Amino acid sequence: MYQRYVTDNNDDDDVDLPISSSSNNNTSNNNNNELNLWRRVQRKQYQNNELSLKRIELLNKIKFVWDPQSQHWLDMYNRLLDYKEQNNNSTLVSRSYTKDPELGLWLHSQRRAYKRKTLSDERIQYLNSIQFIWEDTLGRYTSSNARRWDKYFQRLVAYKKEYNSTTVPFAYKVNGLNLGIWFNNQRQSYNRNELSVERTKRLKSIRVVWNIPDCDPWVEMYQLLVAYKKQHKSTNVPVKYKKDPKLGSWVHSQRCYYWNEELSEERINRLESVGFVWNTLDAKWTAMYHKLVEYKKHHHGLTTVPQRYTEDLSLGKWVHYQKYAYSKGSLSEKRLKLLNAINFVWSAKKNASSS
C-alpha cells in the first residue's frame, strides 16, 4: 500500500476525503477509498504512538502530511502573506474577494474563531506577527472602516521608515491623505481611552510617541521642517524663506546652536534622522562637485568646463573659482584630493599635486 501511495499521490491529494458509499463504485473509486482509509490509519497510529520508527521515516521521506487540517491552515496563511505583499501590507480581504474567494472566507473564519476564543494561541501569534486586523474601533470587523484605518496606518509605517520618526506634522499630507490630522486623532483617542486594544497594539508596535507636547515650539518647527523636506527633498531652508520666514530663521538658529555646542543630543539626533545638513557650504560644494563628475561622464572625460558654460553657468563659474582658490592656496586638502581624484585640470600646462 505504501508503494501505491507513493505512485498515486500528488500535491492536491493528501487530504482526507469522504469514503464513497455508492453501490456503483468503479475501480478508481475503490482505489481512492483504500488509499484514503490507509492514510487515516497511518495518522491514527502515529497519534497513538503505535507506528514504528521505520514507517515514520519512510512516510517523512515522501513528505507525508500528518495533520491535514494544520497543513491546510498554513497553506492559507501563506496565501495571506502573498496577498499582503501584493496589497500594500494589508491583511483586509473581503469575503467576496473574487481572485481568491477561499482566502476571504478563511480570514472571516479566523476572526470569528478569535471572537469566540476558539483560535489557538499559536495561530493567534502567527497572525499577530503580520499585524493582522482582528476588529475595528467598534469591536467588530467592518471592511470599509477598517480598510481606511489600515490605509492610514500603512502610510504612517512608510513615514517612519523614511524619517525615523512618528511625529507627523499636523498639516502633513501624502497622496491625498491627511496623515497629520489622522495621527493626531489617534493620539487624542488613545489619551481619552477611546482607541481599541487592537489598534493601540498596532501603533505601539511601531513605537508611536503618544504624548507630544503640543505647546513645544521646537517640536512644531521640527514638524514644519519635515514637511518642507517632503516637498523639496532637502532640509536646506533658505534663511530668508519667503513662504515661511520663521522656518528659515529657525533652521539657521539650529546650526548656530550646534556649532556652539548648545543643542541637546536628542535634538541633534532628531534633526540628523531627516538628513539635516549642518554645514551648508560643504553641502553646496559637494553638490557642484557631483555636477562636475556628471559633466565629465558626458564630455569624454574632460573637466575643463568653460567659464561661460551656457547649459549651466553656475558650474562654469564654480570650476573657475576652484582654480582661483588653488592658485591662492586657500583650497582645503580634502577638496584638493577630491578634484585630483577625477583628474581635474588646474591649468593648461600642468595639474596640481595632492602631496
Res. 114: pLDDT tops 90: no
- Give the whole-angstrom CA distance, residue 124 versus residue 196: 18
23-27, 194-198, 334-338: least confidently modelled range: 23-27
Q: How much is the pLDDT for 121? A: 84
Q: How far is CA 205 from CA 86, 150, 169, 185, in A?
A: 22, 14, 20, 18
Task: Give mean pLDDT, residues 192-220.
Answer: 79
> Which among 201, 208, 152 has a CA at the least distance from the CA of 181?
152
71 Cβ contact partners less than 8 Å away, ≥ 6 residues apart: 14, 65
Please tell me which residue, 74 or 26, carries the higher pLDDT value.
74
The neighbouring-strand residues paired with 177 are: 174
b/e map 276-302, b = 16+ CB within 10 Å? bbeeeeeeebeebbebbeebbeeeeee
Res. 51: pLDDT tops 80: no
The neighbouring-strand residues paired with 174 are: 177
Most distant CA pair in the chain, distance: 106
DSSP type of residue 117: T
Cell of 334: 580634502
Confidence band of 17 (pLDDT split at 50, 70, 90): very low
Q: Where are the alpha helices (DSSP H) in 169-216?
A: 179-191, 197-205
- Give the whole-angstrom CA distance, residue 32 versus residue 17: 9
Q: How much is the pLDDT for 354? A: 45
End-to-end Cα distance, the chain: 83
Asked if 134 contacts 111 with a C-beta cutoff of 8 angstroms, the reply is yes
Asked if 274 contacts 163 with a C-beta cutoff of 8 angstroms, the reply is yes
Angle (CA) 240-247-227 rounded to 5° is: 125
Look up cell 496563511; give the residue: 77
Res. 39: pLDDT tops 70: yes
323 Cβ contact partners less than 8 Å away, ≥ 6 residues apart: 346, 347
Task: Give mean pLDDT, residues 78-82.
Answer: 88
26-30, 56-60, 138-142, 342-346: least confidently modelled range: 138-142
Cell of 250: 529657525
- Give the whole-angstrom CA distance, residue 57 versus residue 61: 6
Res. 214: pLDDT tops 70: no
16-20, 286-290, 329-333: least confidently modelled range: 16-20
- Give the whole-angstrom CA distance, residue 206 versus residue 224: 22
- Give the whole-angstrom CA distance, residue 271 versus residue 252: 13
Q: How much is the pLDDT for 339? A: 92
DSSP type of residue 233: S
129-133, 195-199, 214-218, 219-223: least confidently modelled range: 214-218
Q: What pTM value is reported for the model?
A: 0.37
- Give the whole-angstrom CA distance, residue 249 versus residue 240: 7
Cell of 245: 520666514
